[in-house]
Amino acid sequence: MQRNDPLKSIALAYISLRVNLSLEGHTERRSDGATLAASGAPVASLNAVISPDLEPDAKTMETLAGSEALAGLPWSMHVRGLPKAGVIDVARRHGLTHTTELPLMIRHPQAGQPAAGNGVLVRPVDGDEMTVYARTLADGFGVPHEAFALFANPALADTEGFTFYLAESDGELVGTGMAAVQGDLLGVFNIGVLPRHRRQGHGRAITTEIVRAHYATGATTAYLYSSPMGESVYAAAGFKEEEVLTMFTAPS
């Protein structure tokens, strides 16, 4: 019997955005919502087998994990909460023995409209600027530009529900953000600040301005998956941890 699961709508929204990011890759979705979303990027987190259920079906996860679409790609398996033995066994059979817990942080409607940020200009970009966006994103996360080359695709800027943001201070690029809206849910992703502009409140300002923009157009609940380093930033913007996402990857 399916137990009450108030956060499943967020899990499903997360899966939908992963599918939409895989414009030039491969996706498969099973009847229980378990999904393979392989973007083709050389980053394990961007090629994933994901379940929206608190108790994923291990056989389904095994089937998706065996897809030829993952051959030759770094990839990952994402499950909610602390995984049970069956899923752990699937991951191990495929060499995914390293785990990372990413806090799911949510900003509920009762938190209201957040206060304005620190004066950073956070502006949406169109397809013509996606190359700049992708490079700035990679620099903010400290990875090679090819790692996030998929974000240079101009078609992403026209994908329904997606908005990509560049942040500027005194006319200079300082960081990036991304919004993924589905119904009244706002997913906040790709919050990255260039190294020389860190520790100035820009991460919180970018997050806050994205929330403000989309709350003004109908979103009521915002969510994100934080790195441990970012938790305090998002907590200051009104987000609270309510679950974890466990990501299995091959050891580096």
Give the pLDDT confidence of 80-110 residue by residue, as tens digits: 999 999 999 999 999 999 999 999 999 999 9
Domain span at residue 143 reads 109-243
For residues 86 and 160, membership in a common domain is answered with no
Residue 213 sits in the same domain as residue 174? yes
Assign 119 a pLDDT band (cuts: 50, 70, 90). confident
- Count the domains in the chain: 2
pLDDT classification of 114: cutoffs 50, 70, 90: confident
- Residue 248 within any structural domain of the chain: no
Residue 196 shares a structural domain with residue 160: yes
Q: Which two tokens stand for residue 141?
A: 């996360």
| The domain boundary residue, chosen from 79, 103, 127 | 103
Considering the domain architecture, whether residues 153 and 226 belong to the same structural domain is answered as yes
**Within this chain, do residues 137 and 232 fall inside the same structural domain, yes or no?**
yes
In a domain, 1, yes or no: no
Domain C-terminal end among 53, 77, 103: 103
Task: Give 186's strand partners.
Answer: 181, 222
**Domain assignment of residue 76, yes or no:** yes
Same domain, 145 and 68: no
For residue 178, the domain's CATH number is 3.40.630.30
Residue 81 CA: distances (Å) to CA of 100, 104, 134, 212, 238: 11, 10, 30, 29, 22
Clarify whether residues 93 and 115 are in a common domain. Answer: no
Is there a single domain that holds both residue 43 and residue 90? yes
Predicted local confidence at residue 116, as pLDDT: 77
**pLDDT value for 106:** 98
With b for 16 or more beta-carbon neighbours within 10 A and e for fewer, the 107-141 pattern comes to: beeebeebeebeebebeebeeebbeebbbbbbbbb
In angstroms, the CA 134 to CA 146 distance is: 9
Same domain, 185 and 237: yes
Instruction: Note the pTM of the prediction, 2 decimals.
Output: 0.94
Mark whether 155 and 137 lie in a shared domain.
Answer: yes
**Does 16 share its domain with 128?**
no
Q: Is 74 inside any structural domain?
A: yes
Instruction: Summarize pLDDT for 229-251 with one digit per residue, the tens.
Output: 889 999 999 999 999 999 999 99
Pairwise CA distance, residues 86 & 96, whole Å: 13
201 shares a domain with 130: yes
Is 250 contained in some domain?
no
pLDDT digits (tens, 9 = 90+) for 50-69: 999 999 999 999 999 999 99
